[in-house]
Structure 1
Amino acid sequence: MKMLFICALLIGLVMLPLGVMAEEGTLVEDETAGVNISEEIAIVETNTPNLAPMFGKVHQTLLMATEEAFGYLLTGDIAEKEAFFKELALSEEAMTAFEGAASGAMEDEQVIVTGFDEVKTSYANLTAAADTMFVSFETEGKPVMDDVIAFEASVDIVFDTTDKVWDEYNVDGPATVDASVRSLYGRLLAAVQESYAYPVLGDMIEKEDALADFADFDTVIAQYEQKYPDASYDDIKAMKAEIQAAAEAMFASFEENGTADPADVAALETLVEEMNEKALKLFDTSSEETVVIEESSEIEETAVNTTA
């Protein structure tokens, strides 16, 4: 009996560690099975509006409005005044759109946002000066030089700001062919604005500025042709040649007669209206968006409480 008892005891001592090991193995297996690891990686694409063409539309429509204001003084045609306010409405729509998108400005677009704020501040002075100029013109039956000069000064402040913005933003020139064409329309319309101002003010500096702007257009387009050799600028070059010829014809009649020939003014106006229609179509920014890719990851871990 003692022998049987001793054998049973020895067998028990041997089996006990094996049972413990089996239990620990079961616990480890259960614990591993109880860990729930899930990982989710989301790639989110957000479209951020390209602020450059949006600011360009503000610039372009203000140039167009300025041209209409001088056209009214030259012709006395109320349609020119109405067109001025129509272009201002387009400018204000463009400003509202820009403000709505400015919160998503990229780092390199901050210079545009700052410039826009300055333009908007100056815009109020431009519209007030225009109102004063129109009232005195309609009262006196002719442009009142002090009011015209004040309006011209307010215009210069706005466009000095836009020029500064483009110089700082486009350090290496426009980044795309479309951007280069838009900039050329802006340069051409600036030359037109100076062209209209010359017979209104009678100041030779306005003529010199207009001719300088036309020459600058030629210089810049030559640079763009080198940068984008596969692009064609023939259409806008032909348009520029026609507009400059019409402007110079208006200059000649003004210098000969003391007033610009209405036929010359009308010929220039027709060309400018055609240009404006084409230019505005280039500022549809619906297809020009910057894609920003954001990655986010979430890891969820649930572990079994092995002490329970």
Structure 2
Amino acid sequence: MRSLILFISLVLAGLVLIAGCTGTTPEVQKTPAVTAAPTPAATPIPTPQATEAPSQAMTPAPVQMPGKVAYSVDSAVTLGRMHGVMMEAIEEALAYPVLAEPEEKEDFEGKVKEFDLLAVMFEKQAGLDRPENADIKASYDSILSKKKALVTDAENFFAVYEKKGMVTDGDVVVLEESIDGFTSEFGPFTESYFAVVSEEDLKDNDHARVALDILTMHRTLMEGIEEVFGYVLLNESIEKEEFTANIQKFNEAGAALVNDDYLGESENKAKLAAYTSVMSAKERMVDAAYVMFAEFEDTGKVSKSTGDAFEKEVDSTTTAYDILLEEVLKDL
């Protein structure tokens, strides 16, 4: 009897289950409508997570390299421009008493102001206020101190010239020593900074790499031009020798740039034209420099026409360089 009751109970339970399944079948047909409704709301949910994850993973890459900090291309370009601008300012300072042109002094002052504006930009881009950059900030602050001393000595140099109508070897030596103090720190600083630019920024970015090369070439060129005026002011053969050495170094860097095939790429035709203009202007400038050397060695002085001819080619060269740099930078 108990078995019969158990059997009947099982049968009834089975019927209930069957009835339940068949009874819910119409509801199952509604399920797509129910599950489809939250789908649009659910779809965006993974999206921000997917975009955040790569960002978090990639953030350290530009600023971390094995054993050292990596710097951004933007900050390196700004630093390179600072260096080039200050070298142009130095050239203007030395040219002032040789050419007797107030415009040279005005250009010096303008270049110094441009340097100061770029310095503010660099400090922000390089994050010099961050604790981990304390060492580089200390080196940078030392350079700014040397630059301040250079500007003061240049102003004194101008004052002597304007008062006496001439400058003595002693006056020139004071300024030259100040220039050497500045460049002997700024040169290695810039070179080291360029060497530690983020590999992530330079990876597959020929424009960034070439921009740094061109900035280095410009610095070398301006150091050479500075020596031209140093030679006719101090009459020391080492100044002339250093001019020749810097031009050779510049030419070698230019040849390496051409051999790199960057300028030969079809999309870089405008850059090739600008580079060609730089090299042509540089050759004219070098020729004018040697004419000035010859006149100085023959007569012990530089005539206004000869000095003006050289300065004209210097301006032509720096203008051509500015065009080349902008052609490269606009593609960064």
TM-score range, shorter chain: 0.7 to 0.9
- Give yes or no for contact 2:282–2:313 (8 Å, CA) kept in 1: no
Give the % identical residues. Answer: 23
Instruction: Give 1:1-308 correspondences, 5 Å limit.
Output: 38-40=45-47, 41-42=50-51, 50-103=74-127, 116-168=140-192, 169-170=194-195, 176-228=209-261, 230-231=263-264, 232=272, 233-284=275-326, 287=330
CA distance in 2, matches of 1:111, 1:222: 36
**Structure 1 pair 141/278, CA: closer, same or farther in 2 (3 Å)?**
same
- Opposite residue 159 of structure 2, the aligned amino acid is V
- Opposite residue 239 of structure 1, the aligned amino acid is A
Cα offset, 1:116, TM superposition: 4.3
CA distance in 2, matches of 1:185, 1:263: 26
SS of match in other structure, 1:176: helix
Cα offset, 1:242, TM superposition: 0.7
CA distance in 1, matches of 2:319, 2:136: 25
- Opposite residue 141 of structure 1, the aligned amino acid is G
**Structure 1 pair 117/280, CA: closer, same or farther in 2 (3 Å)?**
farther
CA distance in 2, matches of 1:51, 1:203: 37
CA distance in 1, matches of 2:159, 2:90: 16
Higher relative contact order (CA 8 A, sep 6+): 1
- Give yes or no for contact 1:182–1:282 (8 Å, CA) kept in 2: no
Cα offset, 1:77, TM superposition: 1.7
- Give yes or no for contact 1:54–1:283 (8 Å, CA) kept in 2: no
CA distance in 2, matches of 1:151, 1:234: 34
- Opposite residue 161 of structure 1, the aligned amino acid is E
CA distance in 1, matches of 2:276, 2:284: 12
Q: Larger radius of gyration, structure 1 or 2?
A: 1
**Structure 1 pair 222/147, CA: closer, same or farther in 2 (3 Å)?**
same
**Structure 1 pair 76/18, CA: closer, same or farther in 2 (3 Å)?**
farther
CA distance in 2, matches of 1:115, 1:283: 27
**Structure 1 pair 228/186, CA: closer, same or farther in 2 (3 Å)?**
farther
Moved more, 243-252 or 143-152: 143-152
- Give yes or no for contact 2:81–2:215 (8 Å, CA) kept in 1: no
CA distance in 1, matches of 2:245, 2:226: 12
SS of match in other structure, 1:68: helix
Say what the alpha-carbon RMSD is for the aligned residues: 4.2
CA distance in 2, matches of 1:15, 1:110: 84
Cα offset, 1:82, TM superposition: 0.9
Cα offset, 1:53, TM superposition: 1.6
- Opposite residue 101 of structure 2, the aligned amino acid is D
Cα offset, 1:111, TM superposition: 10
Cα offset, 1:52, TM superposition: 2.1
Q: Could you tell me which runs of 5 or more consecutive residues in structure 2 were left unpaired when the two chains were aligned.
A: 21-34, 36-40, 63-71, 197-205, 265-271
Q: State TM-score, norm by structure 1.
A: 0.72
Cα offset, 1:244, TM superposition: 0.8
- Give yes or no for contact 1:68–1:83 (8 Å, CA) kept in 2: yes
- Opposite residue 231 of structure 2, the aligned amino acid is Y
Instruction: Number of aligned residue pairs: give it.
Output: 275
| 1:200-254 C-alpha deviation (Å, 9 max, x unpaired) | 1222221221122122222332333333375445332222211111111111111
**Structure 1 pair 228/164, CA: closer, same or farther in 2 (3 Å)?**
farther
